């Protein structure tokens, strides 16, 4: 017998013995054949993904990118579930005994908060904060804080209250708590006063060459991503930089809320204008507290009192309707 035939005969016997052993040690139910020896078709599926799978692996969809880079972008728009301060029944306002409270503000977000020529803080936040403390017998301390990282700081209790024109969202509500809503706003395009390439949001949306700026990790950024996509959005550290990018011609519009758009128009007389209508509506602004803060009920009581006697509307008109 040749060496080749001998080897073939030995291999055949070994294979038969292995098959017999396998039948004794494991039933098909315990170890499916597909796990021991995948078919040629299964092997091809494992080794060679389809073109669609390759594209999905190499190029994540805009939604996947949004969720990876900006968790809030997965939420289509803020949810209107915060009770309005106007709808609360005015009752007794508690006395906080002169307690010192730290109010977080950016000082770069007109008309909510900004610095005047002398470096003093002014705006809606300052007027409202002082009025609330005058009713609750507390002492307001306004602490300047950058927007980036402010929600983890609030969740950790580093400040007592966050002002700064914050929009209510269900996602944020999982990490922090809110007061009643003091105003409802929308999102608009703020452009240079001499802009003549488009006159409606739809025209801006249709022109893929046009770019918008906004502030990072805000609901404005979410609105921009939903409106024109991530690729056409440039996010800045604060709205001052985003607006300046429009004025200088680096971008074509700012996605910004209606009230703040008016604030920056006041800061830059004759340089900016709003494109109507809103690209998104019905966002509620409220004060933000650390989770389970004991200050929520007193602040709601003070805001309801201010709504009841007209003070809230008076301050809103002063800063929001110049």
Q: Is 121 exposed, middle or buried (0-12, 13-18, 19+ CB in 10 A)?
A: middle
Q: Between 12 and 150, whose confidence is greater?
A: 150
What percent of the chain has a predicted confidence (pLDDT) above 90? 71
Q: pLDDT-derived band of residue 64, with 50, 70 and 90 as boundaries?
A: very low
pLDDT of residue 71: 37
**Pairing between β-strand 177-192 and β-strand 114-115 as defined by DSSP bridges:** unpaired
Which residue ranges form the domains of the chain, and what is each CATH number? 85-184+284-320 (3.40.190.10), 185-282 (3.40.190.10)
pLDDT of residue 322: 66
Q: In what order do the strands lie in the sheet with 177-192?
A: 138-144, 99-105, 161-162, 272-289, 177-192, 253-257, 212-215, 233-236
pLDDT digits (tens, 9 = 90+) for 216-246: 999 999 999 999 999 999 999 999 999 999 9
289 strand-pairing partners = 177
Mean pLDDT of the chain, nearest integer: 82
| Secondary structure of residue 175 in the 3-state scheme | coil
Q: Please say whether the beta carbons of 123 and 315 come within 8 A.
A: no
pLDDT of residue 120: 96
Q: How far is CA 112 from the centre of its chain?
A: 19
pLDDT digits (tens, 9 = 90+) for 241-283: 999 999 999 999 999 999 999 999 999 999 999 999 999 998 9
**Alpha-carbon span 255 to 220, nearest angstrom:** 6
pLDDT of residue 298: 97
How many other CB atoms sit within 10 Å of the CB of residue 276?
Answer: 13
pLDDT of residue 9: 39
Range from 58-67, 139-148, 186-195 carrying the lowest mean pLDDT: 58-67
Q: pLDDT-derived band of residue 194, with 50, 70 and 90 as boundaries?
A: very high
Range from 79-88, 123-132, 141-150, 313-322 carrying the lowest mean pLDDT: 79-88
- Token digits of residue 270: 């004759």
């Amino acid at each position: 017998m040749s060496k080749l035939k001998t080897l073939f005969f030995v291999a055949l016997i070994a294979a038969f013995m292995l098959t017999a052993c396998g039948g004794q040690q494991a039933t098909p139910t315990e170890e499916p054949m597909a796990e021991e020896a995948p078919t040629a078709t299964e092997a091809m599926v494992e080794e060679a993904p389809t073109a669609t799978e390759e594209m999905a692996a190499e190029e994540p969809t805009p939604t996947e990118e949004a969720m990876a880079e900006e968790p809030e972008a997965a939420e289509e728009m803020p949810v209107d579930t915060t009770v309005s301060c106007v709808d609360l029944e005015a009752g007794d306002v508690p006395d906080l005994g002169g307690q010192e409270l730290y109010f977080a503000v950016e000082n770069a977000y007109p008309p909510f908060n900004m610095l005047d020529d002398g470096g003093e803080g002014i705006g809606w936040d300052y007027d409202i904060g002082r009025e609330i403390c005058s009713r609750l017998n507390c002492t307001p301390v306004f602490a300047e804080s950058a927007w980036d990282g402010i929600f983890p700081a609030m969740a950790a209790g580093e400040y007592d209250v966050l002002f700064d024109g914050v929009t209510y969202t269900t996602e944020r509500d999982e990490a922090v708590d809110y007061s009643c809503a003091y105003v409802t706003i929308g999102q608009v395009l703020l452009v240079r006063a001499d802009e003549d390439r488009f006159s409606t949001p739809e025209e801006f949306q249709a022109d893929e060459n046009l770019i918008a700026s906004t502030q990072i990790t805000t609901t404005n950024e979410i609105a921009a991503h939903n409106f024109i996509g991530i690729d056409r959005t440039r996010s800045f550290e604060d709205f001052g930089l985003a607006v300046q990018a429009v004025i200088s011609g680096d971008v074509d519009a700012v996605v910004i809320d209606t009230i703040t758009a008016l604030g920056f128009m006041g800061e830059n007389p004759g340089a900016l204008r709003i494109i109507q209508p809103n690209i998104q509506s019905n966002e509620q602004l409220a004060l933000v507290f650390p989770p389970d803060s004991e200050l929520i009920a007193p602040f709601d009581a003070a805001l309801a009192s201010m709504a009841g006697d007209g003070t809230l509307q008076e301050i809103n008109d002063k800063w929001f309707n110049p």
